Chains A and B, each alone.
Chain A
Amino acid sequence: MILRPLAWQRIVWFALAAMTLFTLVVLFFIIGFITSKGAHVITLKFLFGMPERMGKEGGILPTIIATIYISLLAIAIATPIGVGSAVYLCEYTRESPITRVIRFGADALAGVPSIIFGLFGFILFVIRLRMGWSLLAGGLTLAFMILPTIIRTSEEAIRAVPYNLREVSYSLGGAKSQTIVRVVLPNALPGILTGVILGMGRSVAETAVVIFTAGSSLLMPKSLFDPARTMAVHFYILAREGLSMERAYGTALLLIIAILLINVVAYLLMYRLTRKMR
């Protein structure tokens, strides 16, 4: 080594700082670009109006509503299953063939590309179970797409709950289920919530799955069995078909704002939930 360690460290510092800066510039360019092009499109009429002429004119209210419904539906289905699985994996078994099979399942599910989820959802829910293109079919498919995320993050959150808290509960005469409900889950809640938010973000952002399972109808969805077009799909169609670039930018900006809002709400919720514990 010719360079002195500190000189070497300085060089590395600059190299890493440059890479970090570059990364941040790229990422923020994306947001800046969308914001600068889309900000003027977002008006009350755009937010709360019905689309006209395939979205070339009018607003995007049905797509906002559809996005909210479908992502809430997805997490409402995936959260109990995911948290339940995580509780079983962490609290009820040790490493065994059973846990390995379950983990394999979750890992494999995490590796399935969304397009395959789309095909699967189309065949199973839309055609076989005769749900048609609908919020329900879309929500179910998305739920299984985000399930591995929720399992994984919940598992980590549950494992991060200090073991001695459980011991305290046991040593005060708490049964296992009581200990899980009263000590483990409340303390793992912030972590679980992170997983739920991640999953919700993925559902909001997903395009391929939704096109195949929930369809792309621009009507206002009135029931779980109605087809719908989410904001991400609407953006894709607007941009892809060249219907209206302006509106595409506006929709993209709204999508980013939606993700931001979800994160902020989650942060506030987490803060509220943990405040009492600190």
Chain B
Amino acid sequence: MREKLIEKGLLLVAFSAVAMIFLIAYLIFREGVPLVAKVGVWDFIASTRWAPSKGSFGILPMIVGSLEVTLLAVIIGATLGLSCAMFLAEFAPRWSVRILKPMIELLAGIPSVVYGFIGVVVLIPFIRRTFGGPGFSVLAAAIILGIMILPTVIAISLDALNAVPPLYKEGSLALGATRWQTLHRVVLPAARSGIIAAFILGMGRAIGETMAVIMVAGNALTMPTSLLQPVRTLTSNIALEMGYASGDHQAALFATGMVLFVIIAILNTIALVIARPRT
């Protein structure tokens, strides 16, 4: 009897996360859907002109911008992060891993605004001097986000690599394989789903990041055609304009959030399908 009660109570608690996600979705969609209905789905997501006070609500440049920045950031973060994780897992001496791993996890806790700020004072002037232009650009945003997600990618993929049963490694080494052969032919495939999970989490952080992006991306409303052009992402659109928005403008920002929501859901689903371990 008592056991049953405990079970029911815990079930209730466990559903709070579900309740919350539905509440969030409900609130965002309730504000956003009427506007999208008014403007038209196609005009909303496929038009390039954003001038809410003039009745134009096109967010295509921001969708493209978000995806471009995120993709680039993940490429940077994943390359560096996975290399780092592989090195720490297989080649670095144990003592150094014991020191470095907590340090890297610590770096995950640095506020994103600090990363953004360093972007403004170090990276932007560097890009401006080296490549010309304003410096605030797709490239700057991608580099900052790529660095920001590094600790997450390293920590999680390192865990995934370490979770591969030593049996597999032994089996490969006993056949006369080098450690690198073992790593890339057996350990990496076996850790595949964990590593992809690391990339997904990194991607999630990158696409959802707001403040750091506002600081370095330039937030212009053009369709980004070059890496050196300023760009506005969906998240920064919301954070930039929410403060002064009212009426349809505000609804359009909620609708932006809605689109972001849907994009993240799609990306997560794709990633989950890829990551599903082959049985």
Contact = CB atoms under 8 A, between A and B. Distances in A.
Q: Are A and B in direct contact (Cβ within 8 Å)?
A: yes
Interface of A: 5-6, 8-9, 12-13, 15-17, 19-20, 22-24, 26-27, 30-31, 33-34, 80-81, 84-85, 87-89, 92, 98, 101-102, 104-120, 123-124, 144, 147-148, 151, 175-177, 198, 201-202, 204-208, 212, 232, 235-236, 239-240, 248, 252, 255-256, 259-260, 262-263, 267
A105 B15 CA distance: 8
Contacts, number: 220
Contacts of A212: 242
Interface of B: 2-3, 6-7, 9-11, 13-24, 27-28, 31, 79-81, 83-84, 86-88, 91-92, 100, 102, 104-115, 117-118, 120, 122, 147, 150-151, 154, 177-181, 204, 207-211, 215, 235, 238-239, 242, 254, 257, 260-261, 264-265, 268
> Quick one: which of B14, B21, B107 has the most chain A CB within 10 A?
B14
A93 to B, nearest CB: 8
A110 B268 CA distance: 11
B14 A88 contact: yes
B113 A120 contact: no
26 contacts: A20-B83, A20-B92, A27-B104, A27-B147, A30-B107, A34-B118, A81-B13, A81-B16, A87-B10, A92-B7, A92-B10, A101-B18, A111-B264, A111-B265, A112-B264, A113-B207, A113-B210, A114-B208, A116-B260, A119-B254, A119-B257, A120-B24, A123-B31, A176-B3, A232-B111, A255-B111
B180 A9 contact: yes
A23 B151 CA distance: 10
B9 to A, nearest CB: 8
A207 B211 contact: yes
Contacts of B102: 263, 267
Nearest to A245: B121
B91 A109 contact: no
A256 B107 CA distance: 9
A106 B113 contact: no
Contacts of B107: 27, 30-31
Contact of A9 (B16, B18, B179): B179
B229 to A, nearest CB: 22
Nearest to B115: A30
A254 B151 CA distance: 20
A120 B104 CA distance: 31
> Quick one: which of A33, A85, A111, A148 has the most chain B CB within 10 A?
A111
Contacts of B179: 9
A143 B117 CA distance: 26
Contact of B18 (A34, A102, A206): A102
A84 B14 contact: yes
Contacts of A92: 7, 10-11
A82 B20 CA distance: 13
A201 B24 CA distance: 23
A130 to B, nearest CB: 16
Given A115-B257, A263-B102, A235 B111 contact: yes
B114 to A, nearest CB: 5
Given A88-B14, A113-B235, A108 B106 contact: no
B188 to A, nearest CB: 12
Given A27-B147, A235-B117, 11 more contacts: A16-B86, A17-B87, A22-B80, A84-B14, A105-B15, A109-B20, A112-B24, A115-B257, A147-B17, A177-B2, A232-B111
Contact of B84 (A8, A20, A201, A207): A20
Contacts of B147: 26-27, 30
A101 B114 CA distance: 36
A261 to B, nearest CB: 11
A252 B7 CA distance: 45
A185 B31 CA distance: 42
B151 A115 contact: no
B154 A110 contact: no
Nearest to B102: A263
A115 B215 contact: no
B91 A17 contact: yes
Nearest to B77: A23
Contacts of B21: 105, 108-109, 112
